[in-house]
Amino acid sequence: MADFMGMMKQAAQLQAKMQEMQAELDRTEVEGTAGGGMVSVTLTAKGELKGVKFDESLMKPGEKEILEDLLVAAHADARRKAEAVMQDKMKSLTGGLQLPPGMKLPF
């Protein structure tokens, strides 16, 4: 019975740490860039879009497709960075134990 109580205590501690980590991921922001910094996208580590910036030189008529492509590339860059932050936080929470391939975090 003592082992069960110890496991329950550990589970409660892990749950509290997960909640703390999720709150930290909400506050952590990453920036992705494209076009040599001409377009930047800011996301939370959980992937919420917080901001987009464009260099004024891209606001010319006929540059619409370039701007659209750069926006997609900047978002992809930010998303990769957000995923790296999330994985790093998860490693610190689980003591370096990696998730099995294909298993996603619950947030």
Give the tens place of pLDDT for each residue, 4-15: 787 888 878 888
58 lies in a domain? yes
Residue with tokens 């006929």: 62
- Please provide the average confidence, as pLDDT, over all residues in the chain: 83
Q: Which residues form the domain of 56?
A: 21-94
Q: What is the per-residue pLDDT across 14-34, written as a single tens digit (0 to 9) for each?
A: 888 888 888 888 899 999 999
Would residue 87 count as lying in a domain? yes
**Residue 57 placed within a domain:** yes
Choose between 94 and 98: higher pLDDT.
94
Pair 38, 54: CB distance under 8 Å: yes
Q: What CATH number does the domain containing 34 carry? A: 3.30.1310.10
* pLDDT tens-place string over residues 39-91: 999 999 888 899 999 998 888 888 888 888 999 999 999 999 999 988 888 88
Inside any domain, residue 16: no
DSSP character string of 38-85? TEEEEEETT--EEEEEE-GGG-STT-HHHHHHHHHHHHHHHHHHHHHH
The answer to whether residue 50 sits within a structural domain is: yes
Predicted confidence (pLDDT) per residue in 32-50, tens digit? 999 999 999 999 988 889 9
Q: How many Å apart are CA 84 and CA 93, to the nearest integer?
A: 14
pLDDT of residue 107: 47
Domain presence at residue 15: no
Provide the pLDDT for residue 101: 58
The model scores a pTM over 0.75: no
DSSP H or E run through 86: helix 64-94
Long-range contacts of 92-101 (CB under 8 A, 24+ apart): 93/14, 93/17, 93/18, 93/21
Is 66 inside any structural domain?
yes
Structural domain total, the chain: 1
